[in-house]
Amino acid sequence: MRLSHLFLAALCTATVGLAIAQTPAPSPAASPTTTAAPMPPAPVPQGAKAWLLMDSATGQILAGENVDMPVEPASITKVMTSYVVAAEIKNGKIKDTDMVTISENAWRGGGGSTDGSTSFLPLNGQIKLAELEKGMVIQSGNDAAIALAEHTAGSEAAFVSLMNSYAQRIGMKHTHFMNPHGLSAEGHVSTARDLALMGRAMIREFPNAYAYNKMKELTVNGITQHNRNGLLWKDPSVDGIKTGHTSTAGFCLLASAQRDNQRLISVVMGIESKSQAEGFRLREMGNLNLLNWGFRFFESHTLYAAGAKIAEPKVWKGQADLVKLGVAEDMQINVPRGRYQELKPSMDLPKFVVAPLKKGQKVGTVRVSLDGKVIAERPLVALNDVEEAGFFGRLWDEFWMWWES
């Protein structure tokens, strides 16, 4: 990534409706010198019903098809189970050192006697929560998922309610979960976009729990199983996330990789194949081709650093004449390589910025466009407090505001 907020700020003008206010711009900084390269179309995963490639830092979709089409998430569902468990640990409801009892429901519903993936957990056995989660993540154990759900919320049904609540907070608008493991159930659906958002949230919010996804094998109850994500062996930059397969969902894979400071997330859903080996191969190569294409033809930049001054407009009715504006978090973007200089930044600010202002208060918006399309925007917030002026100061500014309007 390259920190170039001064370059972008030099291009900004502030507009709101018909009220236009020019904002003084800082001196430009050096810009990237990468030469624009021809960009081929994204490699379409063979046989996939839906797929996409997302930039993890920004949530930008770099390529995709049928990204909002309802699909069965299969065992990718377990990423949400991990997310809920991590969130409830953070909230102090449970601990990763808790001893979890394997109920008959977990043993029968997801154990070795079923057709699904299992951690072969013993009936009435007690296992530390952290180890149980590894079993779910690495071995894709349905019994582990059920046991975690029961321990976290008291029952599977109560846990599913938590799953759907957290999904809405993440922004998964077209997702509805019916269970914590992903076996086919009526109404248990998601979309490629939603699954990518879920993976992004897991990576950003709970990196320690996410790290389980790159573990290649785990032994539970004397049985060693390998991680079902074959990309962990094919590309060292891949560190997750989760595979899925049922007869109705097809072969699915939610993957993520980081190279240098750039992280991408890929989703391939619904590949049908009579051969398990062929289904594994197609979902792995579909994701790997997308990741390689994204890393090759896109580059990440930090446009504005958190807390750095982007603009300093005049303040009316305040004890200070000016207020510094910036973004609360780094504003990052992913653009086709060599097209950085074609970005068109702009700022929307009110014609009159009026005190009092509190640090962190939204004052306007900064946007960045490419080819006439807004590809990123963030709130512009006050970086410092500005107290209200006294009676005569406010009266004087009120007159000039009236005069200039």
Q: Please report, for the chain, the start and end positions of each structural domain, with discontinuous segments joined by +.
A: 5-35+301-404, 50-271
- HSE-CB for 268 with a 13 A CA cutoff: 28
Query: At residue 307, what is the residue type?
Result: G
Q: Write down the pLDDT at residue 35.
A: 65
Pick from 336, 372, 316: nearest CA to 21: 316
Average pLDDT on 68-90 reads 98
Interatomic CA distance for residues 24 and 254, integer angstroms: 45
Q: Write down the pLDDT at residue 356.
A: 94
Homologous superfamily in CATH for domain 50-271? DD-peptidase/beta-lactamase superfamily (3.40.710.10)
CA distance to 3, 10, 221, 280, per residue, from 30 (Å): 10, 12, 59, 46
pLDDT confidence bin for 96, thresholds 50/70/90: very high
Output phi, psi for 214, to 5 deg.
Answer: -95, 0
Range with lowest mean pLDDT among 7-21, 107-121, 274-288, 344-358: 7-21
Q: Write down the pLDDT at residue 115.
A: 66
Homologous superfamily in CATH for domain 5-35+301-404? D-Ala-D-Ala carboxypeptidase, C-terminal domain (2.60.410.10)
Which residue shows structure tokens 């390269």? 37
Contact 364, 349 (CB under 8 A): yes
Any residues with CB less than 8 A from the CB of 256 and at least 6 apart, and which?
56, 199, 203, 238, 239, 240, 241, 263, 264, 265, 266
Interatomic CA distance for residues 185 and 187, integer angstroms: 6
Any residues with CB less than 8 A from the CB of 84 and at least 6 apart, and which?
152, 159, 162, 163, 166
Most confident of 119-123, 233-237, 317-321, 353-357: 233-237
Host H or E run for residue 397: helix 391-404
Task: Classify strands 353-354 and 262-271 as parallel, antiparallel or unpaired.
Answer: unpaired
Gyration radius from the chain CA atoms: 25
End-to-end CA distance of the chain: 43
Range with lowest mean pLDDT among 32-46, 134-148, 262-276: 32-46
pLDDT tens digits for range 151-206: 999 999 999 999 999 999 999 999 999 999 999 999 999 999 999 999 999 999 99
pLDDT confidence bin for 36, thresholds 50/70/90: low
Interatomic CA distance for residues 88 and 16, integer angstroms: 42
DSSP 73: -
Q: Where are the alpha helices (DSSP H) in 211-275?
A: 231-234
Interatomic CA distance for residues 111 and 123, integer angstroms: 9
pLDDT confidence bin for 290, thresholds 50/70/90: very high
Q: What are the catalytic residues? A: 75, 78, 140
Task: Classify strands 238-246 and 298-304 as parallel, antiparallel or unpaired.
Answer: unpaired
Which pTM was predicted? 0.85
Interatomic CA distance for residues 287 and 44, integer angstroms: 10
Residue 11 confidence (pLDDT) above 80: no
Interatomic CA distance for residues 160 and 180, integer angstroms: 6
